[in-house]
Amino acid sequence: MVHSKTGFFALSFYTIATLFIILAFASPFWLVTDGKLKNPKFIKIGLWEVCFNGFEEVHHWYDTVFKGCWWIFEEEYYIIHDILLPGFFIATQFFFTITTCCVLASMFMAYLYMNKDKDDENYVTLLITLGTVLVIGGFSGLISVVIFGARGDGRDWMPNWEHNDLGWAFALGVIGVIFLFPAGILFLVEARVQKYKKLHEMQSREPSSHTMHERKIGFSGHTDI
């Protein structure tokens, strides 16, 4: 159950971000050929899968031709790891994996948020933790997509670079990362609002308790007289 409009919007942003990030993480469409080349040696690549069509090892140390779609860490690819896994792409994988882990970890916290009563003593702590995790995931994802956006379709990586374009999975990753920021910030705002509400309620109770205590003392004094 969502207890406020702020929480509703935070959860909406979070849901979209989670869907887009998981799709981007699993899809091999971060970089794709534009289809204008008749027999492109490179077809598409994601964080964990690559598709070639007659790609040859550029150093010509091995008489091997790569064709089809394979896991990027497949044993047969070890001879082209220097080409397939440059530093910028490893950094992209690393930071986007951190983002995905943050999203997956926050799923459980989001479930607790929807089922926890706002009067629970751990409610504010849950909101702060959830918001912080999402913001951290957002910053990590931002680093990832900026690196790949700057280097992914460069001429020094995949063959036929002039016919390679950033794919829809990359676009989903960018949107998902952007949506993590308002989601995390709104959860933190909600935590702040709930914290001050609890402080206000506590301050409102204290004078009442003090007044009742004084009345009891006054009543006792009157009885003794």
77: domain CATH number is 1.20.140.150
224 part of a folded domain: no
User: Tell me, what's the pLDDT at 207?
Assistant: 55
Say if 219 falls within a structural domain.
no
Euclidean distance between CA atoms 218 and 113, whole angstroms: 46
Q: Beta strands 164-166 and 65-71: pairing type?
A: unpaired
**pLDDT band at residue 153 under the 50/70/90 scheme:** confident
Number of structural domains in the chain: 1
Percent of the chain residues topping a pLDDT of 90: 49
Residue 188 inside a domain? The answer is yes
Mean pLDDT across the chain, nearest whole number? 85
Question: Positive or negative, the Cα torsion across 168, 169, 170, 174?
Answer: positive
Q: Is residue 221 part of a domain?
A: no
Q: Give the structural domain span for 80.
A: 5-212
Considering the domain boundaries, does residue 225 fall inside one? no
Mean pLDDT of 218-223: 49
Contact 164, 33 (CB under 8 A): yes
Task: Name the band, by pLDDT with cuts 50, 70 and 90, for residue 218.
Answer: low
pLDDT tops 80 at residue 60: no
The answer to whether position 138 is within a domain reads yes
Residue of 193, 170, 165 lying closest to 47 (CA atoms): 170
Instruction: Transcribe the chain into DSSP letters.
Output: ---SHHHHHHHHHHHHHHHHHHHHHH-S-SEEE-S-SSS-SEEEE-SSEEEEEEEE-TT-SS--EEEEEEETT-GGGGGGHHHHS-HHHHHHHHHHHHHHHHHHHHHHHHHHHHHS-TTSTTHHHHHHHHHHHHHHHHHHHHHHHHHHHHHTT-TTSSSSGGGEEE-HHHHHHHHHHHHHHHHHHHHHHHHHHHHHHHHHHHHHHHHHHHHHHHHHHHHHHHHH-
pLDDT in tens, 154-166: 888 888 888 899 9
User: Quick check: is 218 in a domain?
Assistant: no
pLDDT tens per residue across span 111-144:
888 887 666 678 888 899 999 999 999 999 999 9
Asked if residue 193 belongs to a domain, the reply is yes
